[in-house]
Amino acid sequence: MSQQVLIDGPVSWRDIAKVAEGAAINLSESRWAGIKESRAAVMSMIDSGQRAYGVNTGLGDLCNHLLDADQLGQMSRGTILNHACGVGPLLEKRQVRAIMAAAIVNFSQGYSGLSLDVVEALLAMLNRDITPQVPSLGSVGYLSHMAHIALPLLGVAEVEFNGEVMPACDAMRLAAIELPELGAKDGLSLVNGTPCMTGLACLVAADAKQLLGWADIAGALSFEALGGQLAAFGEANLALKGSVEVVKVGHRLRCLLADSPWLVSQQSLRTQDALSLRSIPQIHGACRQQWRHFCAVLDDELSGASDNPLIIKDQQNFRVVSQANPHGQGLALACDALAPALAELGSVAERRSYRLLNPQVSGLPGYLTDQGGISSGLMIAQYTSASLCADNRRLAQPVSVDNFVTSGLQEDHLSFGTSAALRLFPMLDNVRRVLAVELFCGTQALDFLDSDGQRFSPAGAAIWGMIRQRVPHYTCQRWIAPDIALVEALLRDPRIRADIEQVAGLAN
């Protein structure tokens, strides 16, 4: 692990994304001090016999059951074991790491009161690359995923370590991580809070950022191939929209399309283009605005404490406050707001692909084939995009408005924040594939306009060249699916996007 993230001041979603992708994570001395202080307060409350929810009482509607001191460690262990009821496919490794990182950030705020040994063990698991096997389904808020992450601290379940899946007890031994002795509140803190939905959403933010950049690139390629009218992207008219993000997309498009002899030759041939072309700044800009709101909610969540109960210090005294900071309504709503933006990002890309394939509006050979009649060309690739966009429309439906009653009426309003975040990952995959189809079609279109790319903008020629290095001009002699997969792989490499933007004179 070459990178390291130090948790000290404000934490950003970018920090969590770095840890998810393999960076190490550590806490500053002040963060460790806060953890120690709140833990000392918990132990003091137990010694004094003060009733405190989740510290020396049962959970949920069992909150009025006072427990003996010798039962508190058993309750922590039992809490983890009986909350670990997830089902279905496993989360990806980076998703689990993101959740673990967000949990450590939450604990480091100094309001949770869990044992220092527990935080140290969780940190060691991340930094020594031990990843719990976590089922993806079964959460109405946050509990089950967090419990599965905590199981290895008991020496229970399986983890991935050194590229192998093995029993957690074996991995912890091989990594020289001592199993912590769980005490009061440890189990509750480990399954509590919003780190599950927050960690997942941090990865969504990172992936969406990449796709927003690629959407501009793909849109510019289609615009250039179709000989779009550049006046729609003028700085003065876009400024009148009153949106910083619309202005930004307009600037990016002008840079991506600059110095194109082909586009110069096409100006004033039409009064205006179809909306899928001339409204790229307005559509992409609106999607970027939703993404920025999403990121702001994430950073707010990372700066707060989402445990219940919280250990709060008033002057020199500590008190336990039972409240609802683990409720993830803000994150769930933010996820629900981003979902239609992702759907629209793919939807307009599919429309641009359609225009490239339709000879009535493109002026290019129908379906971009030079073997018309023998071959349908890229006709069915657009069908694929349409299918993916239809999936995204269904996935874009709000999740946060759903509700069930759990825990004997004690927990009678649920955020479904984790479900709202998880639903965004297949949407991102769908958008990436739709953009891959658009880039595939756009590159094929440029082949018919100029076989060596000399007539196009430097950025357009760079896109064309990068794709043609991997995917030759399409003919009916081969099947299409591998070509789309190869272009999609380019979209997963941030270095490729950065290279194209550098050619266009855009800052990375």
Per-residue pLDDT of 67-109, as tens digits, reads: 888 888 898 999 999 999 999 999 999 999 999 999 999 999 9
Lowest mean pLDDT among 45-54, 248-257, 385-394: 45-54
Give the CATH number, domain containing residue 127.
1.10.275.10
* Residue 445 forms part of a structural domain: yes
pLDDT at 403 over 80: no
**pLDDT tens string 253-285:** 999 999 999 999 999 999 999 999 999 999 999
Q: What pLDDT score was predicted for residue 407? A: 66
The confidence score (pLDDT) of residue 57 equals: 80
- For residue 20, pLDDT over 90 is answered with yes
pLDDT of 451: 64
Of how many residues is the chain composed? 508
Q: What is the mean pLDDT of the chain?
A: 93
pLDDT band at 317 (very low <50, low <70, confident <90, very high): confident
Residue 116 lies in a domain: yes
Measured CA to CA, the distance from residue 114 to residue 363 in angstroms comes to 67
- Identify whether 285 is part of a domain: yes
Q: Residues 185, 231: one domain? A: no
Contact 206/14 with Cβ under 8 angstroms? Answer: yes
| 1 pLDDT more than 70 | no
- Give the domain range for residue 134: 4-192
Whether residue 41 is found in the same domain as residue 11: yes
Is the same domain home to 346 and 487? yes
Count of Cβ atoms closer than 10 Å to residue 267 Cβ? 12
Q: Which residues contact 138 (CB under 8 A, 6 or more apart)?
A: 85, 86, 87, 88, 144, 145
- Residues 157-205: tens digit of each pLDDT: 999 999 999 999 999 999 999 999 999 999 999 999 999 999 999 999 9
Q: Domain with 406 in it: what CATH number?
A: 1.20.200.10
Judge if 182 and 247 occupy the same domain. no
Q: Are residues 221 and 314 in the same domain?
A: yes
Q: Does residue 324 sit in the same domain as residue 466? A: yes
* Residue-level pLDDT at 53: 75
Whether 508 is in a domain gets the answer no
- Helix (H) or strand (E) holding 274, with range, is none
DSSP 151: G
Confirm whether 62 is domain-assigned: yes
Q: Indicate if 179 and 248 belong to the same structural domain.
A: no
Do 224 and 311 belong together in one domain?
Answer: yes
Is residue 230 domain-resident?
yes
pLDDT of residue 45: 84
Q: Identify the band that residue 508 occupies on the pLDDT scale cut at 50, 70 and 90.
A: low
Other C-beta atoms closer than 10 Å to the C-beta of 44 total 12
Residues 176 and 126 in one domain: yes
* pLDDT greater than 90 at residue 315: no
Has residue 377 got a pLDDT over 80?
A: yes
Quote the pLDDT of residue 401.
87
Q: Residues 443, 329: one domain?
A: yes
- Tell me, yes or no, whether 173 lies in a domain: yes
Q: What is 47-107 written as a DSSP string?
A: HHT---TTTTB-SGGGTT-B--GGGHHHHHHHHHHHH---EEEEPPHHHHHHHHHHHHHHH
Residue 498 belongs to some domain of the structure: yes
- As a whole number of Å, the CA-based R_g of the chain is 26
Domain boundary among 132, 166, 192: 192
What percentage of the chain reaches a pLDDT higher than 90?
Answer: 81
pTM for the model stands at: 0.95
Out of 136, 157, 192, pick the residue that ends a domain.
192
Query: Alpha-carbon distance 55 to 66, whole Å?
Result: 9
Cβ-contact 335, 423 below 8 angstroms: yes
Same domain assignment for residues 117 and 232: no
Q: Are strands 135-137 and 164-167 parallel, antiparallel or unpaired?
A: unpaired
What is the per-residue pLDDT across 219-238, written as a single tens digit (0 to 9) for each?
A: 999 999 999 999 999 999 99
pLDDT given for residue 2 in this prediction: 65
Residues 252 and 220 in one domain: yes
